[in-house]
Amino acid sequence: MISRRTFGKAVGRGAAAASAAAFSSACSAAVSGDPRHQIPPAADRAKAQPARTPDFGALKQIRAGVLNVGYAEVGPAHGPVVILLHGWPYDIHSYAAVAPLLAAQGYRVIVPYLRGHGTTRFLSSRTFRNAQQSVFALDIVALMDALRIDRAILAGYDWGSRTADIMAALWPERVKGLVSVAGYLITNLEANKKPLPPELEWAWWYQFYFATERGRLGLERNRRDLARLVWKFNSPTWAFDDATFDRTAAAFNNPDYAGIVIHNYRWRLGLEKGDPRYDGLESRLARRPVITVPTITLDGASDPFTPPGGGSSYRDKFTGRYAHRTLTGIGHNVPQEAPEAFARAVVDVDRPRR
């Protein structure tokens, strides 16, 4: 794992040769397939965790679309852009160790809080607190426009994977490359009406909980305890400490957090309506468009939501340059559990190794 000292060098001095060499060596050891390239066992990884995880420091804010977006930024101002997208119930700190690794390679790294999280706020109290899948992608388009970014590498997991996938599918001209944990996550509302095998339905327990008024109240009142439970379930081998969780849990104090989370999961189940203005986008997404940009997909082998078959279940949805990597001993929150492997994927999708 990246140390506090390495973090300081990466953010403060950029791409030093020693940092780049250490990054390359560490990342090469993170990809499964070769017995020499396995993620260390959970017990060893827990011992290797630094006493304190790197932090982003002061955040930035910018008006973008219907939001005032809070985001972290590290790396050279004129470097190629990487946008890292978090999931639920997580926040930008899933990338606290990934971002400096990429900054040391010369990338300008931007890590925004999604709507309903952290310091991101709606500009108007009258705006519909919409959380259908297309609006998250529109938020990132607006953010790129506000920052005058034409193209970027997009990388994410969970909600972040879905958002990055949608960007790559609908606006490929804005996406230089894609890193997507769990592959093709674009929601098809019709397909979501069909039941899954019971063991997979069980893994999605909180979706059904949130479909009830009791679940909405439970999220409002117990947001921290519920998130901690989900972390443990999603990442059974990750020995995170209280400080790591508390830092992220602060992002759930956003006044729109519960509303956004509830609407997102109810919309997926067809229990809440989206905004009719985006019906055209959702119709395009319902046709399951292929993704043509260079892509690397990642799966954590210990992720309870990972489909079997090493990415084979979604391989046909990626028609451009493509690679898949399964990370042994890693759960759902891939960038925080395996930052070197995640950063390596970003670099490789941009500059494939010969």
Task: Quote the CA–CA distance of 223 and 217 in Å, as a whole number.
Answer: 10
- The predicted pLDDT at position 159 comes to 98
- The predicted pLDDT at position 353 comes to 72
Tokens coding 67: 């939001």
Burial of 68 (0-12, 13-18, 19+ CB in 10 A): middle
pLDDT band at 146; cut points 50, 70, 90:
very high
287 in Cβ contact with 139 (< 8 Å): no
- The predicted pLDDT at position 24 comes to 52
pLDDT band at 354; cut points 50, 70, 90:
low
- The predicted pLDDT at position 4 comes to 34
As a whole-number percent, the residues of the chain with pLDDT over 90 amount to: 77
162-166, 202-206, 261-265, 309-313: least confidently modelled range: 309-313
pLDDT band at 7; cut points 50, 70, 90:
very low
Q: Which domains does the chain have, with CATH numbers?
A: 4-350 (3.40.50.1820)
Q: What are phi and psi of 181, to 5 degrees?
A: -75, 130
Instruction: Tell me the per-residue pLDDT of 11-63, one tens digit each, with 9 for 90 and over.
Output: 444 433 434 454 555 444 444 443 323 444 444 444 344 435 568 989 999 99
